[in-house]
Amino acid sequence: MANFSGTWKMKSSENFDELLKALGVNAMLRKVAVAAASKPHVEIRQNGEHFYINTSTTVRTTEINFVIGEEFNEETVDGRKCKSLATWETENKIYCKQTLLSGSGPKTFWSRELRGDELILVNLVFTHCDSPLQRGNQKTI
Protein backbone atom coordinates (compact mmCIF):
# COMPACT_ATOMS: atom_id res chain seq x y z
CA MET A 1 0.00 0.00 0.00
CA ALA A 2 1.31 3.43 -0.98
CA ASN A 3 1.79 6.26 1.52
CA PHE A 4 -0.06 9.39 0.35
CA SER A 5 1.13 11.50 3.31
CA GLY A 6 2.63 14.86 2.47
CA THR A 7 2.01 18.41 1.37
CA TRP A 8 1.01 18.74 -2.26
CA LYS A 9 0.89 21.74 -4.62
CA MET A 10 -0.88 22.11 -7.96
CA LYS A 11 1.32 21.50 -10.96
CA SER A 12 -1.41 21.52 -13.62
CA SER A 13 -5.18 21.59 -13.99
CA GLU A 14 -7.27 20.51 -16.94
CA ASN A 15 -10.98 20.98 -17.70
CA PHE A 16 -11.94 22.40 -14.28
CA ASP A 17 -14.16 25.11 -15.81
CA GLU A 18 -15.88 22.47 -17.97
CA LEU A 19 -16.37 20.26 -14.92
CA LEU A 20 -18.04 23.10 -13.00
CA LYS A 21 -20.17 23.94 -16.03
CA ALA A 22 -21.37 20.31 -16.20
CA LEU A 23 -22.37 20.62 -12.54
CA GLY A 24 -24.49 23.69 -13.34
CA VAL A 25 -22.26 26.32 -11.70
CA ASN A 26 -22.87 29.77 -13.23
CA ALA A 27 -20.17 31.60 -15.20
CA MET A 28 -19.29 34.16 -12.51
CA LEU A 29 -18.88 31.54 -9.77
CA ARG A 30 -16.88 29.33 -12.14
CA LYS A 31 -14.46 32.19 -12.82
CA VAL A 32 -13.91 32.73 -9.08
CA ALA A 33 -13.60 28.99 -8.41
CA VAL A 34 -11.12 28.40 -11.22
CA ALA A 35 -8.92 31.30 -10.04
CA ALA A 36 -9.07 30.19 -6.39
CA ALA A 37 -8.41 26.53 -7.18
CA SER A 38 -5.35 27.28 -9.31
CA LYS A 39 -3.03 27.17 -6.29
CA PRO A 40 -4.55 24.86 -3.66
CA HIS A 41 -2.53 23.70 -0.67
CA VAL A 42 -3.25 20.02 0.02
CA GLU A 43 -2.12 18.20 3.14
CA ILE A 44 -2.65 14.45 3.40
CA ARG A 45 -2.04 12.40 6.52
CA GLN A 46 -2.37 8.65 6.26
CA ASN A 47 -2.26 6.00 8.96
CA GLY A 48 -2.81 2.64 7.28
CA GLU A 49 -6.29 2.84 5.76
CA HIS A 50 -7.27 6.03 7.63
CA PHE A 51 -6.92 9.29 5.68
CA TYR A 52 -7.14 12.97 6.58
CA ILE A 53 -7.13 15.39 3.62
CA ASN A 54 -7.12 19.18 4.06
CA THR A 55 -7.45 21.29 0.92
CA SER A 56 -7.07 25.08 1.24
CA THR A 57 -7.65 27.74 -1.40
CA THR A 58 -8.15 31.49 -1.12
CA VAL A 59 -11.93 30.90 -1.15
CA ARG A 60 -12.46 27.88 1.09
CA THR A 61 -10.90 25.08 3.08
CA THR A 62 -12.25 21.54 3.06
CA GLU A 63 -11.35 18.68 5.36
CA ILE A 64 -12.26 15.04 5.03
CA ASN A 65 -11.49 12.11 7.30
CA PHE A 66 -12.20 8.62 6.08
CA VAL A 67 -11.29 4.98 6.29
CA ILE A 68 -11.00 2.95 3.11
CA GLY A 69 -14.14 0.81 2.71
CA GLU A 70 -16.30 2.86 5.13
CA GLU A 71 -18.87 5.49 4.10
CA PHE A 72 -18.21 9.08 5.14
CA ASN A 73 -19.84 12.50 4.71
CA GLU A 74 -18.34 14.87 2.16
CA GLU A 75 -19.26 17.67 -0.24
CA THR A 76 -18.96 17.47 -4.00
CA VAL A 77 -16.65 19.96 -5.72
CA ASP A 78 -19.68 22.26 -6.17
CA GLY A 79 -20.72 22.05 -2.48
CA ARG A 80 -23.53 19.46 -2.54
CA LYS A 81 -23.64 17.17 0.51
CA CYS A 82 -23.04 13.51 -0.20
CA LYS A 83 -22.09 10.13 1.24
CA SER A 84 -18.81 8.89 -0.15
CA LEU A 85 -17.13 5.51 -0.26
CA ALA A 86 -13.42 5.24 -1.00
CA THR A 87 -11.86 1.95 -2.08
CA TRP A 88 -8.46 0.84 -3.33
CA GLU A 89 -8.51 0.56 -7.12
CA THR A 90 -4.83 -0.44 -7.16
CA GLU A 91 -2.13 -0.34 -4.49
CA ASN A 92 -1.35 3.25 -5.60
CA LYS A 93 -4.86 4.50 -6.42
CA ILE A 94 -7.91 5.36 -4.32
CA TYR A 95 -11.28 5.60 -6.08
CA CYS A 96 -14.23 7.33 -4.39
CA LYS A 97 -17.91 7.26 -5.39
CA GLN A 98 -20.07 10.16 -4.16
CA THR A 99 -23.84 9.71 -3.62
CA LEU A 100 -25.96 12.83 -3.09
CA LEU A 101 -27.89 12.97 0.19
CA SER A 102 -30.78 14.87 -1.40
CA GLY A 103 -31.88 16.15 -4.76
CA SER A 104 -30.61 15.00 -8.09
CA GLY A 105 -27.66 15.84 -10.25
CA PRO A 106 -24.79 14.35 -12.17
CA LYS A 107 -22.95 11.36 -10.73
CA THR A 108 -19.58 12.39 -9.30
CA PHE A 109 -16.45 10.45 -8.41
CA TRP A 110 -12.86 11.26 -7.54
CA SER A 111 -9.61 9.36 -7.51
CA ARG A 112 -6.16 10.01 -6.12
CA GLU A 113 -3.20 8.13 -7.52
CA LEU A 114 0.51 8.18 -6.70
CA ARG A 115 2.77 8.05 -9.75
CA GLY A 116 6.36 8.38 -8.63
CA ASP A 117 6.57 11.68 -6.75
CA GLU A 118 3.31 13.03 -8.21
CA LEU A 119 -0.20 12.82 -6.78
CA ILE A 120 -2.85 12.79 -9.51
CA LEU A 121 -6.35 13.92 -8.49
CA VAL A 122 -9.13 13.30 -10.97
CA ASN A 123 -12.70 14.50 -10.48
CA LEU A 124 -15.24 12.83 -12.74
CA VAL A 125 -18.73 14.06 -13.57
CA PHE A 126 -21.13 11.95 -15.58
CA THR A 127 -24.11 13.74 -17.13
CA HIS A 128 -26.58 11.40 -18.83
CA CYS A 129 -24.49 9.18 -21.13
CA ASP A 130 -21.86 11.79 -21.93
CA SER A 131 -18.16 11.18 -21.58
CA PRO A 132 -16.77 12.18 -18.20
CA LEU A 133 -15.11 15.54 -17.64
CA GLN A 134 -12.06 15.51 -15.41
CA ARG A 135 -9.58 17.66 -13.55
CA GLY A 136 -6.05 16.69 -12.63
CA ASN A 137 -3.78 17.80 -9.80
CA GLN A 138 -0.12 16.87 -9.69
CA LYS A 139 2.51 17.20 -7.00
CA THR A 140 5.44 19.55 -7.32
CA ILE A 141 8.60 18.99 -5.36
Please name every residue paired with 108 in a beta bridge, in sequence order, or none if there are none.
98, 125
Distance CA 45, CA 25 (A): 31
Q: Which pLDDT tens digit goes with each residue over 85-141?
A: 999 999 999 999 999 899 887 788 888 999 888 888 887 766 554 454 445 554 443
Q: Determine whether 64 is exposed, middle or buried from the number of CB atoms within 10 Å of its CB (0-12, 13-18, 19+).
A: middle
Distance CA 83, CA 24 (A): 20
Q: Which pLDDT tens digit goes with each residue over 12-58?
A: 666 777 777 777 778 888 887 777 667 788 999 999 999 999 988 88
- DSSP 8-state assignment for residue 70: S
Superfamily of the domain at 6-137 = Calycin beta-barrel core domain (2.40.128.20)
Q: What is the pLDDT of residue 139?
A: 46
Distance CA 70, CA 130 (A): 29
CA 129 to chain centre: 21
Answer yes or no: are the C-beta atoms of 44 and 6 closer than 8 Å.
yes
Neighbours of 121 (CB within 10 A): 21
